[in-house]
Structure 1
Amino acid sequence: MADKVESARRQDLRRAGNAQGTREGEARQYEDFIRSTVDWVWEVDSNLNYLHVSKGIARVFGVPSDILLGSYLFSLTYFKNVDSVLLSTVEAIEDRVGFRNRAITLEDVHGTRRKLSLSGVPVFESDSGRFEGYRGTGTEVTARARSEAELGDLRQAVQDLTELSSAWCWEADAELRITRLSEDYDAHAGLPRDQGLGSPLAELWRLDEAGRALMAERQVFRGRQAAWLHAGRNEERRFVISGRPVFDDKGRFAGYRGIGADVTDHSRPDAATETATEAAERASRAKSEFLANMSHELRTPLNAIIGFSDAMRSETLGAMGNERYLQYAEDIHLSAHHVLDIVNQILDLSRIEAGKLELEEEPLEVLGLIDRCCRMIQSEIEKADVELKVEVDPDLPRIKADSAKLKQIVLNLLANAVKFTPSGGRIRVTAGLGAAGHLDIEVRDTGVGIKSGDIPKVLTRFGQTGDPKQKSGRGAGLGLSITKSLVELHGGTLKIVSRKGRGTRAIVQLPKERVLSGNDGSEPWKIMF
């Protein structure tokens, strides 16, 4: 009999343990659920003093949850900012009604202000209906509130700037029909806003060719010219339009948004401006004609000097008889060549300024052109005692360019590198396709370099650094300016990157439209000079 009693007792203990384990498991599940939805849960009695609060509140109040037990729900220790939201929440509690997502400001024990979102429901005794308190949840929304405030400030700033400027805002859908025009569009544009809404963008504003091309490719366009003809007044208005493509969360094109400004009055030059412009153009033409004529007049005697000095230094007609005479002939020959180079540069410059320089485009092998340029300057490389290394992909696509002018670009950059690289230095020439499909040709040296502040200067006409240490290698200061103009004539850009005493990188970038075919990614071809 005693054994049966003991066995029954053990079974009762096991059942009690299982029940306790079940309750603890359910409690853990409840806590996990709470943590996944809100930051903490709370319960207060009829006097609004805490009966229970979960551990998550410690992170917000800065004190352990058990410290809050028995304290008032809205203790002024933490809720120092008594605003309308807090007062309305207290009124809701006094009326024994629920409240949801009330944004209340709290100050933790460290003095940090935090924004909370509180929700609560009243609790009543099931039989008597007596009010017993409240149960609810809390979530910290400080970061979200800060972001919303910053977004509100940003929107207000954009609105203020738009109202103060003479520009208007616009939006278009995926079919490029105008869906939004700012309220002041009528005043700024002088056009009826209601007629603009729903209109095809292409009909409302006639964008220039470059703007239309960028829009067709879903690209950003800035400051593009546009026109609109007011049929009723037979008046054409001129605008400057900028826009940016908009894509939805799945990456699909959703339209455009941008700004515009009326520049009709600015695009009408007054008589004084036109007169000054015409005078400047006449002066520029006169200067260019003078330079061209003087250059042509100088080339004839210079060629004679070069020819005769060459005959003298090579003793074509017999021995000079004195070693110093040979040296004089060599000096005359070199000086005449130097002057002729400057004359030729001035001629090139005058053609560029007159707009008479045109491209004779043809398919070109980049590797072959660079190789020819390097061989043309081989003697100068040997005299300067520098190492020249070329790395070009042998399968680099052909390009469409002017052979003579591209050769002049590369030769000018190589000549500069040789001129300003001391003995024992290195020059490296590379060419390849960029990530956007454009062509990069780079000439890099370990020469004397240029101060960053002097780079814009050396790219201008007759621009020189003024460094006395480089005086022996200086020319007229036209080489880089002409090179830049020739690159831009091809639709490209010339970039100079340099540091004093650390060398220089000259990067020619030609647009992808000049690249004629693809590239299979072969190893670069390397040659040493």
Structure 2
Amino acid sequence: MSDFEADDNGSDTFPPADIATMALGLCSPVYIAGTDGVIRYSNKAFNDIFRRSDGHPLRRISPRLLSALRRSSAPIRQRESVEIDGRKRTLSGRHVKLAGHGGDTLVGVYDDQTIETELRAALGTVKERSDELLSTVSDWVWQTDTDWTIVHSVTRDIGTDIETCAELTGRSLFDIGQFRPASGRRPPTLRTRAPFRDVLFVLERPAGGERIYLLSGIPVFDAEAGGFQGFRGSGTDVTERLAAEERAGAYRLELEQALTELTATNARLDGALAQARDADRAKSLFLGMIGHELRTPLNAIIGFSEVMSDELFGPIGRPEYKDYAADVLQSGRHLLSIINDILDVVKLEAGEMMVQADRFDPSETISAGIRLLSLQAENKQISLDQDIAEDFPVLFADEQKLRQMIINLLSNAVKFTNKGGRVTISGHRSPQGEAVVTVTDNGIGIDSANIESLLQPFKQADDRLSRSFEGTGLGLPLTRSLIELHGGRLEIDSALGVGTTVRLVFPADRVDPT
């Protein structure tokens, strides 16, 4: 590490011809170099200190020093730190460019300032420790005579608005303030001759207001005669501390009151939460019980109506009866689907729904969903298409749950798409390696403000829609829960009057890498 600067003081008048003889005889490190930076002469002291990494003497001065010497006509001073025999040495170099008959010559002489540097560092440490010690001195050091008249006073700042501590001299301690009892400590009186410690003393300020100190004092007696001579003591300014303690006490009281209120509120909330959990549990149990109780007779109704509709045991007479049986069959299947959705929601809320993962091709599941919804789409003259990318991957997932998700999304898309509309289901692999199934329609669309409510069970985007479109509002919430069981996510983009796009995103760890 080195620093150098031009030195405009002094002059060098000795001729270059005598430089080598003078330099080599000095005890200080000296070098003589040409304007090319190559060292021509150097004494033993210089060679012992400045060496190359291979141990040989330095042959050139540094390019930075050479550049500085070329630019400056005045001597240059340089400070440099080197390590010699494991000890850090500080050298001060003085470098000059001398003119001679054969051209300019560069000369450098170094002084060892290690001891000076170490002394300065030691003095700095001593000063730092002294400052630390002084910072621990009491705010006020005082001495009184036998009548409590102040005869000596030293302070950093006692906040009395008195210009100098000397102005306290000659005034009684009892005149400039008053002692107050605190914490069982008895304050001193004019007749006190015993030591006292940490007694509150209120110093009255001439400009108004007061400062509060903790004073401690010990009696002083004549060493020879033993007569009482007064007190010596010190004081610590505790004005801010006491004010802070008072504020803290007020805050603590407020906090205790707030904590009491908060505890009572938490108790009420815990009771309400317990009631809500009990009600939710009762609701789930009720729905599960009703669902199972309804499914048994409903399956019988579906079975009998299917037999009657297909006339498995022969004609049933009038054609209207066959149509009625078909209507009963369709309504029964629809009701069974609703009951199954409700039971699935109950299982999901209870944490009983599990993923049975298998390796399968999801494009076949998509095709099956298309076939299942094709008749419903055909009745509304809706175009139902699929677009499966070539890189659409094989999945490790629950195929039955994927089928359920696809049917829910396609059913919603067909339901909320007007006559002559279009519904497309596609599959592709994202740049992040995820498998994405997308259902897009150009139906009535959803207001973005209502999308979140659609993901809550038994909710629809607009209650008025429930009068035009059948359904319980379980499709999207159930689908989101099922995709989240796979570690994936459900994404919805929609605009009123434009259409809706819903994406099922399976994470990369559900994708077969082959």
Using the size of structure 1 for normalisation, the TM-score is: 0.45
Query: Larger Rg: 1 or 2?
Result: 2
Using the size of structure 2 for normalisation, the TM-score is: 0.46
